[in-house]
């Protein structure tokens, strides 16, 4: 009786807070309601999550969690299932709880087939103490927010220890990441692997491969046949024989454009062409992960292909706006690997481009911004003719400008403005495209300012699954 009272009180209070936060324009109400509900009823998450009739899927890793989870949610919804999903990317235990609060009735009932949960790497052990996932999708591991996570080895060990305590959980793993692939053997869990095979855009060297250089088993330096980006590629250890595992789902014949990326898939269900309507090789990996998860859940491959072809990005995940005749792209950056891929996308856009970079150092971003010196901004020196200007903003906008100066970007292309002026400048700049890159806590303010000027681009839902 006492638990029932706390449960109902927690749900009611959480829903009221959720509504108030949104009415007051103070956010999406995707974390605070969960925080308060957990204080009132600590066991609320486990109780609500157990009501998912067909099971729980968790997505964790460094980059691509939100996009991959939302892609899986689209696949599962299109297949006719009801889902609970934390779409806004609130991936701590408070955000996961808030997603269930939103779906719950006042009496504590949740009507869903699947719970699809993006979970922060450091929060994964805590969340899995309350929720036993039937499937865990792991995207990649990169160095990220050292002042919060610590060294990467610590993060991986926390996830590995949590997985060992989850008997029967199926893993969907990135075969191309030597830090992710060993989790099957080290935890004893069954795994389904996805990855990219060799294609015309692979490289023999990767100057940005700072993680995963050494064998996780014997410590010898890994040898790569080729790289896709950072440490992702075809690797092997010359000492103990550790190597990239066979990928159950593998993509070849990669084609990248300014609005989409596509690949030819080999899978246990046959060969297909996957089109993901957002640019970047990293988004192709997200699509491969979502395809693999959908296939593992028993969704028909043709249905997965159709669903992913109509995917619409979440806020800041290559979100598109239109301002007059100008294309506007908003993209989240939070660590060197992700920022490097964001710069790659920038240089693939038809230029010259007007660029905004917003850097904050709030708790959610990480107080330590020294990671900016690990980003390969030096590529902008060589390609500065493709950029009209770079306007820096946010709490650490001045430091960002200094980093660009030392990267060799011409000083007449660099400026520092407050956020409103910065947005006005890129929207009214001479380029046909404005590209905005922002850390976590700069993302939502930028999105609100943009919404006052520009209209979000609507995605045509009938994009062909095979081109």
User: What residues act catalytically?
Assistant: 368
Do you find a cis peptide bond into 364, omega within 30 degrees of 0?
no
User: Which single residue is written with the structure tokens 């995605």?
Assistant: 459
Tell me how far apart the terminal alpha carbons of the chain are, to the nearest angstrom: 58
Look at strands 249-256 and 261-267 and give their pairing: antiparallel
Closest C-alpha to 337, from 260, 281, 404: 281
DSSP assignment of 118-167:
E--TTTHHHHHHH---SEEEE-------HHHH-SHHHHHHHHHHHHHT-T
DSSP assignment of 53-107:
SSEEEEEESSSSHHHHHHHHHHHHHHTT--EEE-TT---SHHHHHHHHHHH--TT
Contact between 355 and 437 under an 8 Å Cβ cutoff? The reply is yes
Contact between 169 and 136 under an 8 Å Cβ cutoff? The reply is yes
Task: Locate 139 and state its tokens.
Answer: 């995207």
Which residues neighbour 71 within 8 Å (Cβ) at sequence distance 6 or greater? 286, 287, 289, 290, 307, 308, 311
DSSP one-letter code for 222: P
**Which residue stretches of 254-406 are H helix?**
281-296, 301-309, 336-348, 379-382, 397-406
- What is the C-alpha separation between 292 and 286, in angstroms, rounded? 10
Question: Sign of the CA dihedral 216, 221, 226, 230?
Answer: positive
Question: Sign of the CA dihedral 301, 176, 168, 90?
Answer: negative
Strand partners, 194: 174, 249
In total, the chain counts a number of residues equal to: 467
User: Which single residue is written with the structure tokens 């030392």?
Assistant: 406
DSSP assignment of 379-409:
HHHHTGGGEEEEEEESTTHHHHHHHHHHTT-
Q: What is the CA radius of gyration of the chain?
A: 22
- What is the C-alpha separation between 231 and 228, in angstroms, rounded? 8
């Amino acid at each position: 009786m006492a638990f029932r009272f706390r449960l109902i009180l927690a749900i009611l209070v959480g829903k009221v807070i959720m509504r108030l936060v949104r009415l007051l324009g103070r956010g999406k109400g995707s974390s605070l309601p969960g925080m308060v509900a957990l204080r009132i009823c600590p066991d609320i998450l486990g109780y609500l999550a157990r009501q998912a009739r067909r099971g729980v899927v968790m997505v964790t890793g460094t980059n691509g969690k939100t996009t991959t989870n939302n892609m899986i949610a689209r696949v599962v919804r299109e297949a006719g299932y009801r889902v609970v999903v934390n779409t806004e990317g609130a991936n701590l235990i408070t955000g996961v709880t808030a997603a269930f609060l939103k779906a719950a009735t006042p009496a504590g009932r949740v009507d869903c087939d699947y719970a699809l949960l993006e979970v922060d790497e450091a929060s994964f052990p805590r969340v899995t103490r309350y929720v036993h996932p039937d499937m865990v999708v792991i995207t990649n591991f990169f160095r990220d927010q050292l002042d919060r996570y610590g060294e990467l080895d610590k993060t991986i060990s926390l996830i590995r220890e949590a997985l060992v305590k989850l008997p029967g959980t199926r893993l969907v793993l990135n075969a191309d990441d030597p830090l992710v692939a060993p989790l099957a053997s080290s935890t004893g869990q069954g795994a389904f692997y996805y990855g990219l095979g060799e294609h015309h855009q692979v490289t023999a060297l990767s100057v940005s491969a700072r993680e995963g250089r050494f064998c996780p088993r014997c410590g010898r330096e890994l040898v790569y046949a080729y790289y896709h980006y950072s440490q992702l590629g075809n690797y092997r250890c010359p000492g103990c024989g550790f190597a990239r595992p066979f990928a159950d789902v593998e993509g070849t014949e990669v084609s990248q454009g300014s609005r989409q990326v596509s690949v030819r898939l080999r899978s246990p269900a046959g060969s297909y062409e996957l089109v993901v309507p957002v640019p970047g090789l990293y988004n192709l990996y997200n699509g491969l992960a979502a395809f693999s998860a959908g296939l593992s859940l028993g969704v028909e491959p043709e249905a997965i292909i159709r669903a992913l072809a109509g995917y619409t990005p979440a806020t800041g995940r290559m979100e598109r706006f239109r301002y007059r005749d100008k294309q506007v792209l908003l993209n989240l950056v939070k660590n060197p690997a992700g920022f490097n891929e964001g710069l790659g996308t920038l240089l693939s856009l038809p230029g010259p481009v007007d660029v905004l970079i917003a850097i904050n150092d709030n708790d959610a971003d990480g107080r330590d911004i020294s990671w900016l010196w690990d980003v390969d901004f030096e590529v902008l020196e060589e390609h500065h003719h493709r950029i009209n200007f770079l306007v820096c903003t946010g709490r650490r906008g001045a430091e960002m400008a200094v980093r660009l100066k030392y990267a060799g970007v011409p000083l007449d292309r660099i400026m520092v403005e407050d956020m409103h002026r910065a947005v006005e400048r890129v929207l009214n700049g001479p380029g046909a495209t404005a590209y905005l890159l922002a850390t976590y806590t700069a993302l939502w303010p930028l999105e609100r300012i943009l919404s006052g000027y520009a209209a979000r681009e609507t995605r045509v839902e009938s994009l062909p699954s095979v081109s």
